[in-house]
């Protein structure tokens, strides 16, 4: 008999809910940090302010890569 193309998914681990909570806390802290710096940003020229917010809107995701890897595999980096 041929193996079934439908595999049962693995059991969820404790890393998934802990990871989701960690990501939510990280986003909240990051947003609060950017909001706290917004008064300083407003003193800059509009173009520079826009550039800072654009970079801040993209940069927050970079530290999540190892965290997401840990959530899925239990490893912090690929060997």
Q: What is the pLDDT of residues 61-79, one digit of tens each?
A: 998 988 888 888 888 877 6
What digits encode the pLDDT tens for the residues 28-42? 999 999 999 999 999
Across all residues in the chain, what is the average pLDDT? Answer: 87
3 part of a folded domain: no
Q: Is residue 7, in this structure, part of any structural domain at all?
A: no
Rounded to 5 degrees, φ, ψ at 19 are -65, -40
Whether residue 8 is contained in a domain is answered as no
Residue 38 lies in a domain: yes
- What pLDDT sits at residue 20? 93
Angle between helices 15-42 and 46-59 (to 10 degrees): 170
Is residue 5 in some structural domain? no
- Give the range of the structural domain holding residue 30, as residue numbers without chain letter: 15-73
Residue 37 located in a structural domain: yes
Q: Which of the four pLDDT bands, split at 50, 70 and 90, describes residue 1?
A: low
Query: Does residue 41 fall inside a structural domain?
Result: yes
Q: Residue 2 falls within a domain, yes or no?
A: no
Among 31, 28, 23, CA closest to 66: 23
Q: Which long-range contacts (CB under 8 A, 24 or more apart) does 20-27 make?
A: 22/67, 23/64, 23/67, 26/63, 26/64, 26/67, 27/60
Of the pLDDT bands very low, low, confident and very high (cuts 50, 70, 90), residue 2 is low
The total number of structural domains in the chain stands at 1
């Amino acid at each position: 008999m041929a193996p079934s193309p439908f595999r049962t998914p693995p059991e969820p681990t404790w890393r998934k809910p802990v990871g989701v909570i960690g990501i939510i806390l990280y986003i909240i802290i990051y947003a609060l940090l950017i909001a706290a710096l917004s008064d300083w940003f407003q003193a800059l020229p509009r173009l520079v302010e826009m550039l800072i917010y654009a970079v801040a809107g993209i940069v927050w995701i970079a530290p999540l890569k190892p965290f997401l890897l840990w959530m899925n595999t239990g490893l912090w980096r690929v060997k």
